[in-house]
């Protein structure tokens, strides 16, 4: 039995409706193995939490960067609320320990788990909003997502750009070459492929990425290439 009161202590929020908190951690896959649980999965809460998070992030950035235009602010917001940022914040908060998943999903530790963690963070935000109101949700977001992120560094280093775009801009600026990508391996059946993509600058291979799609593998390769180059 999962003790959600420990999460309440760590998150510094006490729920009036404890079942609402439990629902925030309940992944759709759990219901496939527990059809008679009488519970609902967390996707509606995730939908609500996503909207609350976007509003809080927009307000935060609007006040922090009064001279930035709407296009720049949109990009910065994307960095604050993307899957990578949310899954990292979710991990810091220990959300992984409270997830209710199917046995199959519980074994997955790859990108699929990161998405589940990010979605659960949004569901928790939605649950806090319903149970405690907007101010409590805002405080939770600022403390558990914004506070440990160096937002000024994100802006200065253009970390709000996706890795592929960021690497292309840096490579063109520093070498004059536009990066190219090549599939070096595919594994798995047709319905569940796993791709390995290499990124090249000129004729030199810089890094290899992997993912469930070529696009995902290219992003992973670009992220690793930025680290290899120290960019």
- Which residue out of 46, 50, 131, 210 is catalytically annotated? 50
Q: Rounding to the nearest 10 degrees, give the CA dihedral for residues 201, 209, 228, 226.
A: 70
Token pair 């409706």 is found at 17
Assess whether 54 carries a catalytic annotation.
Answer: no
Q: Is 206 helix (H, G, I), strand (E, B) or coil?
A: strand
Assess whether 153 carries a catalytic annotation.
Answer: no
**Alpha carbon distances (Å) from 171 to 39, 161, 221, 230:** 50, 14, 14, 12
Distance of alpha carbon 90 from alpha carbon 86, whole angstroms: 6
Q: How distant is the alpha carbon of residue 105 from its chain centre?
A: 17
Please give the order of strands across the beta sheet that includes 204-211. Answer: 180-187, 194-201, 204-211
CB atoms within 10 A of CB 37: 11
Token pair 């939490």 is found at 49
- Which residue out of 122, 210, 220, 223 is catalytically annotated? 122
Catalytic residues: 50, 122
């Amino acid at each position: 039995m999962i003790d959600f009161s420990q999460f309440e202590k760590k998150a510094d929020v006490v729920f009036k409706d404890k079942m609402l908190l439990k629902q925030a951690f309940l992944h759709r896959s759990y219901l496939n193995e527990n059809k008679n649980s009488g519970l609902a999965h967390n996707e509606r809460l995730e939908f609500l939490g996503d909207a609350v998070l976007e509003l809080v992030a927009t307000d935060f950035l609007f006040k922090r960067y009064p001279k930035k235009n709407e296009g720049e602010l949109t990009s910065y917001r994307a960095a604050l609320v993307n899957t990578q940022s949310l899954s990292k914040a979710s991990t810091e908060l220990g959300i992984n320990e409270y997830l209710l998943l199917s046995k199959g999903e519980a074994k997955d530790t790859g990108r699929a788990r990161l998405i589940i963690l990010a979605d659960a963070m949004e569901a928790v935000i939605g649950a806090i909003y319903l149970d405690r109101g907007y101010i409590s949700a805002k405080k939770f977001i600022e403390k558990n997502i914004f506070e440990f992120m160096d937002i000024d560094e994100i802006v200065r280093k253009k970390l709000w750009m996706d890795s592929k775009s960021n690497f292309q801009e840096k490579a063109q600026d520093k070498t004059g070459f536009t990066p190219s990508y090549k599939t070096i391996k595919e594994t798995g059946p047709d319905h569940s492929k796993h791709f390995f993509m290499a990124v090249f600058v000129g004729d030199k291979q810089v890094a290899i990425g992997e993912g469930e799609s070529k696009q995902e593998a290219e992003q992973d390769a670009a992220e690793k290439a930025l680290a290899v180059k120290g960019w």
